[in-house]
Structure 1
Amino acid sequence: MDTHFLELMELAAHLRGREVSSLDVTRAQLDRIAALDGALCSYAHVTADAALAQAEAADAEMAAGRYRGPLHGVPIAVKDLCWTEGIPTAAGMAVHAGHRPTEDATVVRRLKEAGAVLLGKLQLTEAAYADHHASIVPPKNPWDAEAWPGMSSSGSGVATAAGLCHGSLGSDTGGSIRFPCAANGVTGLKPTWGRVSRYGVFELAASMDHIGPIARSAADAGAMLRVLAGDDPKDPTASLEPVPDYLAGASRGVHRLRIGIDEAWTDDVAPETKGMLAGAIEAFAALGADLVPVRFPEVTQAIADWFPICAVEAAVAHEATYPARKSEYGPVFAQVLEDGRALSATAYQKVLLRRMHFRGLVDAVLDAIDLLLLPVHPFAPPTLADMTALGGRPELVTRLLRYTCPFDMTGHPSLTLPGGFTPGGMPLAFQLVAKSYDEATLIRAGVAFQGVTSWHRRHPALLEGRA
């Protein structure tokens, strides 16, 4: 049985029914990584021996009737931002090369406790910001090597799309779960800020960092979030809100759910994106959702304010190594830290007050609806050359972040869903946003949409032409 493109929940059913073994599936995944990742560069470290041992243990437990749940025996991988005991965790940085944590991040520990098999660590941009450090070969989009693979969680998006894991962990501070999902044609969930513990995860900007699953379906994302979410004594900012079974009500459909559409906010997106959004709206209408016109608050100032918040919080996170080891930092991220260190307290307080005001305005919009439907980014899927050009054009950077970073500023949860393809065969995606801690409605809507569409089941032929 070829298992590499199975959804996590599909593989879980085969494993529980003893139709396949975790050891065989894990070996197949490791063989596939060895064959394909030399070109894709999605992994920073592959932990083959540990993965095989975990798979063997999972098979033994399931044979003895000790089933831990849908992640049991399933091979997944985590962004190299998350501490892994005894395994290098560099956060895409030269300054942390060779760093071996003495304990697991809470999210890694919870995956292990759920019986997941950890294949390794996935590559990312320097410190989870915008650019890769010069010492790192960036991941390649499996649909087209010249296409953008997404922002900092690019390794997670690439590996999940290419069949090199059955799900992964990403992080999102300005869009870095949503961008890689859109670029690579996979499903991703940015939870509510605080829903998932950040203990043992290198910080970019603490008040905007979100840890969440990148997967092949909404159901897969729900199964992973159930394991990841919950309070954590090691992270007092982790929410005490109860964690529901996200799959328990996932089959209820979307009949009479109120889905908000702001046509003015999305009027100037690329034609391919506009067509994809129209198709998603049509699908939800056919499923019985109520499409409700809304007016979202102006986002330009909120996006502008994202940059100083990120810079100040990153400067705090890196104060032990910057500027003392400045020469080991790349120029883009070093400038971010310089900007954060230079901002005055009064200027920063004004930014924080505007953020509070903006969050209140967004809460008011979401209070009147169940979900908000909008693009991930306004462009057609960009190329690497397009993204290089963005660096000299701040207005295009603002456009890129238009639909993502506002919800890192507010902390609301978002689900990214594949919604179509361009005429050239590149993935297109949209996102749904919900009230804080209402990830269950996101999963419910995602399952309904993916029940009547097949965009999430399309897979790249890969760079070598092998599927």
Structure 2
Amino acid sequence: MENELHYLDMFDMSLLIRSGRVSPVDITQALLARIEKLDGALNSYACVAAESALAQARQAEAELMRGKCRSPLHGVPIAVKDLFWTKDMPTTAGTTIHRGFMAQEDATVVARLKEAGAVILGKLRMTEGAFAIHHPDLPAPNNPWGAAHWAGASSSGSGVATAAGLCFAALGTDTGGSIRFPAAANNLTGLKPTWGRVSRFGAFELAASLDHVGPMARNAKDVLFLLSTIAGHDPKDSTSLPSACLEIPGIDESFKGLRVGVDEVWLSDGVDPAIQRGLQQIMDLIRQGGGKLVRVEMPDTRAVSSNWERHCGVQTALAHEASYPSRAAEYGPALSRLIDGGRELSGVDYQRILLAAQWFTGEVDALLNEVDLVLAPVQPHAAPTYEQLAGLASDPEANRRLIQFTSPFNVSGHPCLSLPCGFTEQGLPLGAQFIGKKGSEGTLCRAGMAVQRVSDWHKQHPPGL
């Protein structure tokens, strides 16, 4: 069973479970065995909750046999990033200061997954506090496509586990690109929703106004179904938006009538040729599918991407006020540097950053009145190695370029869908993204499904696994 089923799409697995052809208990046992076999080398799980997962699977099986189906997720094994509170598992947020922390209640998104009948296999590794680098005392996930290559930013465990067939989908968070980077690195589809679309209650904070909670899966349809489960207003999070119907059954998997903005200068400046070729293939599919490519000029992203670390740092300093600087010795160097920078920034300088963010947000809103979506890379570098990334550490402009296609839309709050767009000559995944109007997650996923209906990039899996 394991060899046949672990790479199925989440929704296809759901159909098998609901039809009675696959038992939730059997598939959960198969994935737990696969985790035990493979994750020692991949390091994607911070905590595997075998006992509770099997209990949830048995409950799902009993309910389905009685004819009670809670949702398309009923009985499907998934996993969540280790910054979401779970009352039956520890939550560390990739830190040592929270080692052993047990929440008194589940994060809202975890509670919604459980209410939908999903089986929670465990918690997935992440960078320290959801910033850029893993804590030096904790293992880092390894990219199943090549251990020398970046596995993505803070939701790296979510990306690795889903790509390696150790869960059918996962939840991540994105503050500067941390859903989209690991989606691109691991050949997945990931959605950073509109800010506030998904409740942040019970999620350890990095930067409140930049943090977004979203799904990662093997295709856009799975992402949309997972979003429909976790999205909606939450009384425990006053910043969460009103509930909205995503109209899943009525979504047309085509580009007909869609206007997709393309800024050829922005897409090519400093972007590796392999990524440019992938974007060109996406553009060809848009034309062939009845969509219209519209030349646009993106608002200048240099200020917001240059400002992002200081913008984030001020908010991170507040989020860690109870433990930093009093426990600074227990922090890793990257998160310490971020917080120190935030604590040192003047109020006047922070106001300048906020004004630049407001300007950029307004400009993107205006642009998206002219088109339905904008096409962009996820990152300028094709499948970067850790050695390449280390070379960026001392170069602020190189770091800005790395996040220039992701972080501006954390600042503005616009939704973005990352999806595969091909491979390098060495067989490593490449990622593109669509950027949409606020509240347009359905349109973004429609575009992703349109690409994936006529391409097979997303169906490729890491060799040897």
- Residues in 1 aligned to 2:136 and 2:431: alpha-carbon distance in whole angstroms: 30
2:256 aligned residue: 255
Shift of 1:76: 0.2
Task: Rate the CA distance shift 1:99–1:240 in 2: closer, same or farther, 3 A.
Answer: same
Shift of 1:135: 1.1
Shift of 1:393: 1.5
Alignment of 1:403-442 (within 5 A): 403-442=405-444
Do residues 163 (structure 1) and 172 (structure 2) align?
A: no
- Residues in 1 aligned to 2:212 and 2:261: alpha-carbon distance in whole angstroms: 24
1:133 aligned residue: 135
Alignment of 1:85-104 (within 5 A): 85-104=87-106
**Conserved 8 A contact 1:249-1:444:** no
Shift of 1:244: 2.1
Query: Paired residue for 2:42, among 40, 43, 67?
Result: 40
Do residues 265 (structure 1) and 280 (structure 2) align?
A: no
Deviations 1:352-397 (A, max 9, x none): 1111111001111111100111100011110011111111121111
Shift of 1:243: 3.3
Shift of 1:249: 2.5
**Conserved 8 A contact 2:232-2:241:** yes
- Residues in 1 aligned to 2:292 and 2:311: alpha-carbon distance in whole angstroms: 36
Deviations 1:398-456 (A, max 9, x none): 11001000100100001111110111000011000110011010111111110000100
Shift of 1:94: 0.7
1:83 aligned residue: 85
Do residues 25 (structure 1) and 27 (structure 2) align?
A: yes
User: Root-mean-square deviation (CA), in Å?
Assistant: 0.9
**Conserved 8 A contact 2:316-2:339:** yes
SS at match of 1:266: helix
SS at match of 2:216: strand
Counterpart of 1:426, as a letter, is L
Alignment of 1:214-229 (within 5 A): 214-229=216-231
Alignment of 1:221-300 (within 5 A): 221-245=223-247, 247-268=248-269, 269-300=271-302
Q: Is the deviation greater in 159-168 or in 352-361?
A: 352-361
**Conserved 8 A contact 2:231-2:243:** no
**Conserved 8 A contact 2:253-2:449:** no
Deviations 1:222-265 (A, max 9, x none): 000000100001000000142323x2232352112000000010
Do residues 330 (structure 1) and 338 (structure 2) align?
A: no
2:344 aligned residue: 342
**Conserved 8 A contact 1:178-1:416:** yes
- Residues in 1 aligned to 2:339 and 2:257: alpha-carbon distance in whole angstroms: 47
2:454 aligned residue: 452
- Residues in 1 aligned to 2:337 and 2:254: alpha-carbon distance in whole angstroms: 47
- Residues in 2 aligned to 1:229 and 1:324: alpha-carbon distance in whole angstroms: 36
- Residues in 2 aligned to 1:356 and 1:380: alpha-carbon distance in whole angstroms: 31
- Residues in 1 aligned to 2:175 and 2:268: alpha-carbon distance in whole angstroms: 25
Deviations 1:246-285 (A, max 9, x none): x223235211200000001012311100110000100111
**Conserved 8 A contact 1:42-1:158:** yes
Deviations 1:327-370 (A, max 9, x none): 11011111111111111111111211111111001111111100
Alignment of 1:61-210 (within 5 A): 61-210=63-212
Counterpart of 1:10, as a letter, is D
Runs of at least 5 residues in structure 1 that lack an aligned partner in the other structure: none
Runs of at least 5 residues in structure 2 that lack an aligned partner in the other structure: none
SS at match of 2:266: coil
**Conserved 8 A contact 2:188-2:419:** yes
**Conserved 8 A contact 2:90-2:102:** yes
- Residues in 2 aligned to 1:205 and 1:52: alpha-carbon distance in whole angstroms: 35
2:396 aligned residue: 394
Do residues 372 (structure 1) and 374 (structure 2) align?
A: yes
Counterpart of 1:255, as a letter, is K
Counterpart of 1:180, as a letter, is P
TM-score by length of 2: 0.98
SS at match of 1:174: coil
Query: Paired residue for 2:7, among 5, 9, 13?
Result: 5
- Residues in 2 aligned to 1:146 and 1:403: alpha-carbon distance in whole angstroms: 23
**Conserved 8 A contact 1:250-1:440:** yes
